[in-house]
Amino acid sequence: MTDVAALLEKVKSGEISVDEAVLVLKQEPFTDLGFAKIDMHRAIRQGAGEVIYGAGKTAEQIIRILQAMKEKGQDSVLVTRIDDEKAEEIEKTLGGGFRYDKTSRAGIFGEIKEPDGNGPIAVVTAGTSDLPVAEEAALTAQFLGNEVIRIYDAGVAGLHRLLSHMDELMSASVVIAIAGMEGALASVVGGLVSCPVIAVPTSVGYGAAFEGLAALLAMLNSCASGVTVVNIDNGFGAGYSASRINHQKEKRS
């Protein structure tokens, strides 16, 4: 869309015909596999590697998308929300190029980018049960070129567990605060650091936790400024947004 003027210039100069221009607008930006339209320009347009949301896709569909991507020159792809069986099937077909991580239920096809962000991203969890979400966030951030510091099981009921990591928290460019139950971690962390905080409510808890609703509401109402929130259990979204923030550069020269 940002290339409309460029395209018009080519039309004017006769470089391409009107029909061709219309065709370009229609065919280029994605490859249509029938069941999915693969966006090949996003890496360029949005400055990030491609990601496949694996839930609700068969192993076969994922393999076909990965192969189509490779053909188009996409070197590395992150696949989230798969499971052990799907992962095994993909590994069998694609070989060593695909590495699966059991905790986060995610896999990476190709190489991970070298860290090139402004600083490290700290991933903090309230409890042990938050680990799958935390690892999805961490892996996503690493895949997108960020250094990650992991601080796990540091819930606010034992403040000293969190305070003992003050140095690492202060050194981070972005903090991802992950908690289920009452989600108080986001507010406490938000009050301690001066960098952006992304809060991830998890579905950990029972009864009136209502599958993460309690933590979600708590985080949205955080009394600490500088906290924004993503969907329940959305480790990927937190890692992705954190990476965007961590790659901020001065725009005006």
In angstroms, the CA 199 to CA 20 distance is 47
Q: Tell me which stretch binds a copy of itself (CB under 8 A): 31-39, 66-74, 86-94, 105-113.
A: 31-39
- The residue from 21, 68, 94, 112 that contacts a copy of itself (CB under 8 A) is 21
Measured from the CB atom, the residue of 111 and 206 that comes closer to a copy of itself is: 206
Measured from the CB atom, the residue of 97 and 156 that comes closer to a copy of itself is: 156
Span 187-226, contacts to a copy of itself by CB under 8 A: 187-188, 190-196, 198, 201, 203-226
**Where in the chain does DSSP place strands (E)?**
30-32, 37-39, 50-53, 77-80, 98-101, 106-109, 121-125, 148-151, 174-179, 197-201, 227-229
Q: Is 50 in the site for a copy of itself (CB under 8 A)?
A: no
CA angle 2, 53, 175 (to 5 degrees): 80
Q: Is 234 in the site for a copy of itself (CB under 8 A)?
A: yes
Q: Is 97 in the site for a copy of itself (CB under 8 A)?
A: no
- Residue count (the chain): 253
Q: Least Å distance between CB 44 and a copy of itself?
A: 9
Which phi and psi (to 5°) does residue 231 adopt? -65, 155
**Contact predicate 159/195, CB 8 Å:** no
Q: Count the site residues for a copy of itself by CB under 8 A.
A: 118
Span 98-137, contacts to a copy of itself by CB under 8 A: 118-120, 126-129, 131
